[in-house]
Structure 1
Amino acid sequence: MTNRDRLVQAAGDMFYRNGYAATSVEDILERTGVARSNFYYYFGGKLDLAREVFRRWVEDFEDHLRGATASDGDAAEKLHAIFREVRVSSADDGADARDRLPCPMGPLVLELAPHDEEIRSVATEFLATLRSALRKAIAAGAGRGEFDPGIDPEAAAAVALATLQGALLLCHTLGRAQPLGNAESALLGLLMPRKFGPRSDPLPGDASSL
């Protein structure tokens, strides 16, 4: 592993565990043993490093997401796969990764996106990719009768994305992963076919914006 990779991996784990503001360059250097001059050879500062951490998190998650949704399973299985990828994603590949709070990206975005255009842009593209995966799964399910055929997939995907992101916020606020499972169960309940015929109105939501 190069010093650059070592810095990115350590910073990602520390940002995830402690937050961006509470992690200093000194903390990262102490953990990695990398010289200060070498740090600034690779990165202009802590924010520059955080951008690279975030880009790698997004790339890694999108790779896993493509694999999880490429199967021929039913629509509910595909949605479960999306939630599962969010649930098990973490800032590093340590043995305890699956026991940690889900998705490290949210807290970093909340800290930095309001003040950094690059992180905001990457986050916006990532959310669009995630919503697209949700829309495809919902549309396929509605088309095959697994989900309510009256649902508008675009609007439903927007609601699903908001539900997912809200659940992640609750997970990090409460310090436990249960809200994510609850959100998945509730979402599937909303999408399932109605006993008395298809829904006459689409799920609410503005499908034109994130």
Structure 2
Amino acid sequence: MVQVRQRPRTVASMDVEDTLHASRSGRRRQELVDVAANIFAEKGYHATSVQDIAESLGILKGSIYYYIDSKEDLLYEIVDSRLKNMESVLRRLRSSRLDPLAKLRGFICDIVAHVHADPVKSAVVLRDLSALTGERLERATAALERQDRFLRRQVSAGQKAGLICPDAEPALTSRGILGMVTWTYRGLGQQARFGAERTGEAFADIVLAGLRCDRKEHTQGHRRALGALPVSW
């Protein structure tokens, strides 16, 4: 019987095998994250069990722990990926030479585009971020605070430049913008026909039209004359 000598594994062949294994493992982990996101969005993080995720993947519950240590690992990966996208928007806008109004428009349009690109994970971030614990919650909260701070600074800068009405309260304006752009995922069934670009531009038009003010014609509280309600209302 002729024995076939096995070719010894070289460093190069081992590197290729390790790369292929890492690639397959990475794809499987991403599939796990995507499935978890869908279930979190449907049932909520706390109501979802690791068993639910395993059944959706058609694998044993124990197999999931090859990729994660806890269910929170999945939530954090979902939250972190979305917040990193938003951080990239902030970095690009901060480094630009756009005026405050243009930076506000850029923020609104870009964040709406990110929400439209992945409404499922966006929903999970909005609803379940607070389920994170320890440093993970601190990092996620800090990222949200950076968005709020960026918006408030643009409103203040716009007021100093005479571009934005002095009556606008930066903190309230920031909350309004964040609420508008982040909750847009809930209306995607109706808004999908408009598309991300049209939706973002429409939201930006509404916000900027409400903030814009001619300094020469400004009088305190002048906006409240628009659609003013009768005293008896």
Offset from partner CA, 1:16-60 (integer Å, 9 cap, x none) = 6x4426672354577xxxx97664133124442222221232123
Structure 1 residues not aligned, in runs of 5+ = 91-99, 204-210
Q: Supply the distance in 2 between the matched residues of 1:68 and 1:29 (Cα, whole angstroms).
A: 43
CA contact (8 A) 1:89 1:104 kept: no
**If each structure's helix is expressed as a fraction of its own residues, which one has the higher value?**
2
Amino acid at match of 1:57: R
Q: 114, 128, 133: which is aligned to 1:112?
A: 128
Taking only the aligned residue pairs, the percentage that are identical comes to 19
Q: 95, 107, 110: which is aligned to 1:85?
A: 110
Aligned to 1:126: 143
Aligned to 1:66: 91
CA contact (8 A) 1:76 1:141 kept: yes
Aligned to 1:95: none
CA contact (8 A) 1:8 1:49 kept: no
Q: How far 1:171 sits from its partner (Å)? A: 3.2
Q: CA RMSD in A?
A: 3.7
Between 3-12 and 42-51, report the one with greater CA deviation. Answer: 3-12
Q: Which has the higher contact order (CA 8 A, sep 6+)?
A: 2
Structure 2 residues not aligned, in runs of 5+ = 1-21, 43-51, 224-233
Q: How far 1:157 sits from its partner (Å)? A: 1.7
Aligned to 2:162: 145
- Which secondary structure does the structure 1 equivalent of 2:66 belong to? helix
Aligned to 2:27: 6
Tell me the TM-score normalised to structure 2 length.
Answer: 0.62
Q: Supply the distance in 1 between the matched residues of 2:67 and 2:157 (Cα, whole angstroms).
A: 45
Count of paired positions: 188
Q: 190, 194, 202: which is aligned to 1:174?
A: 190
| C-alpha spacing 1:12/1:66, structure 2 compared with 1 (3 Å) | farther
Aligned to 2:16: none
Tell me the TM-score normalised to structure 1 length.
Answer: 0.67
Q: Supply the distance in 2 between the matched residues of 1:15 and 1:182 (Cα, whole angstroms).
A: 32
Higher radius of gyration, 1 or 2: 2
Amino acid at match of 2:187: C
Aligned to 1:164: 181
Q: Supply the distance in 2 between the matched residues of 1:26 and 1:10 (Cα, whole angstroms).
A: 13
Q: Supply the distance in 1 between the matched residues of 2:222 and 2:140 (Cα, whole angstroms).
A: 27
Q: How far 1:75 sits from its partner (Å)? A: 1.6
Q: Supply the distance in 2 between the matched residues of 1:174 and 1:121 (Cα, whole angstroms).
A: 34
